[in-house]
Amino acid sequence: MPIGEFELIDRYFRTAASCRSDVLLGIGDDAALLAVPPDRQLVAAIDTLVEGRHFPVGTAPHSLGHRALAVNLSDLAAMGADPAWFLLALTLPRADEDFLAQFARGMHALAQQYEVQLVGGDTTAGPLSVTVQALGLVRPGEALRRSGAQAGDLLFVSGHPGEAAAGLLLEMGGVEPPAGCDENLTALLRQRFLYPTPRLALGRALRGLASACIDVSDGLAADALKLATASGCGLRMDVGQIPLSAAAQAVVGPEAALRNALAGGDDYELCFTVPAARLAELPGRVANVKCAVTCIGVIDSAPGMRLCRGGSPVAMDVAGFDHFRSRD
């Protein structure tokens, strides 16, 4: 007999290690009761992953559990918040216990790593879709926003954007790696799509220094433009400065690697601005953060985005992902 709804919640979600003393009441009642310290603001984010839309049909459930939480922690990272709790709304076609066991393991492993606790959710039958709501804490006034950049601020990105898009192409069989291509490279790219790392340490390190910040989920160009527009500005980005991944260049070629970096999604890197006068503070702030940060452009006062290489303008179609305008 298939497992019932309440048994399922108990077995796979309730028994997960509770790691936080600020959870006054967790899974099992009508709602969770959480102690928000008096000197903190609550930061809330929610994201849904739909099968066939945000992940290919047949994606390993362990990866799905990780990603559903990781993409939400990435939003908290972009706000400079400390993650604390999360809720899970899970819609499943069937109560498949192999699926649930793997899914829960992927999710709980990431939750433990960052000491965030699952405190509630909802479980329903229907087409596979996973919604996570993440809750975090920040000191009043310290949250990073998209809207604080000013003309002259320098624009940075973490990591190597475009790796996840190359990994997704590999997952979908949409690219044939060149003959003799090192399998470690293709494995790394797949890993970047299937197991994104939320840049929480970087977000924390940027509190009080970055003038604006966004996480890159829809493509670097689209998300950098969102940041600039929210700040009432525009930007110039030097495509020659984008820290392209050696692995992506080897697997999909340099041109596609650049296009993926600009217009591919799912990187979950941080794109942020630093006032030019405070640039000298950045290396010390990021010294202990385990990802590179690279200057890729500058905020200016004219709206829109101008791409250049060195001093010369370049023309490229870099529209990011938009659910209601997608070209697929």
Q: Which two tokens stand for residue 92?
A: 């499943």
Would you say how long the chain is, in residues? 328
> Shortest Cβ distance from residue 154 to Mg ion (Å)?
47
The position carrying tokens 């493509």 is 219
Does residue 88 interact with ligand ADP by CB under 6 A? yes
Does residue 284 interact with ligand ADP by CB under 6 A? no
248: partner contacted, choices Mg ion, ligand ADP, none (Cβ within 5-8 A by kind): none
Size of interface with ligand ADP, in residues (CB under 6 A): 13
Among 122, 176, 182, 281, binds Mg ion (CB under 5 A): 122
Q: Where are the alpha helices (DSSP H) in the chain?
A: 5-8, 61-78, 97-113, 163-171, 183-194, 200-205, 220-230, 246-252, 254-263, 282-286
Q: Return all residues near 22 (Cβ < 8 A) that are at least 6 apart.
A: 34, 35, 36, 37, 84
State phi, psi for 134 to the nearest 5 degrees: -105, 140
Q: Which stretch binds ligand ADP (CB under 6 A): 21-29, 53-61, 127-135, 288-296?
A: 21-29
DSSP 8-state assignment for residue 146: S
> Shortest Cβ distance from residue 88 to ligand ADP (Å)?
4
Q: Which stretch binds Mg ion (CB under 5 A): 28-36, 121-129, 275-283, 300-308?
A: 121-129
> Shortest Cβ distance from residue 113 to ligand ADP (Å)?
18
Choose between 27 and 79: whose C-beta lies nearer to ligand ADP.
27
Q: Which stretch binds Mg ion (CB under 5 A): 115-123, 145-153, 195-203, 252-260?
A: 115-123
Residue 155 to residue 269: CA distance in whole angstroms: 13
> Shortest Cβ distance from residue 122 to Mg ion (Å)?
4
Residue 222 to residue 203: CA distance in whole angstroms: 20
Size of interface with Mg ion, in residues (CB under 5 A): 1
121: partner contacted, choices Mg ion, ligand ADP, none (Cβ within 5-8 A by kind): ligand ADP
Residue 93 to residue 124: CA distance in whole angstroms: 9
Does residue 164 interact with ligand ADP by CB under 6 A? no
Among 48, 91, 113, 123, binds ligand ADP (CB under 6 A): 123
Does residue 93 interact with ligand ADP by CB under 6 A? no
> Shortest Cβ distance from residue 61 to ligand ADP (Å)?
13
DSSP assignment of 236-287 equals EEEGGGS---HHHHHHH-HHHHHHHHHH-----EEEEEE-GGGGGGHHHHHT
Choose between 27 and 166: whose C-beta lies nearer to ligand ADP.
27
Q: Return all residues near 9 (Cβ < 8 A) that are at least 6 apart.
A: 27, 121, 123
Largest CA distance in the chain: 67
Choose between 30 and 317: whose C-beta lies nearer to ligand ADP.
30
> Shortest Cβ distance from residue 87 to ligand ADP (Å)?
7
Which stretches of the chain bind ligand ADP, using CB under 6 A? Answer: 9, 13, 27-30, 88, 90, 118, 120-123
Which stretches of the chain bind Mg ion, using CB under 5 A? Answer: 122
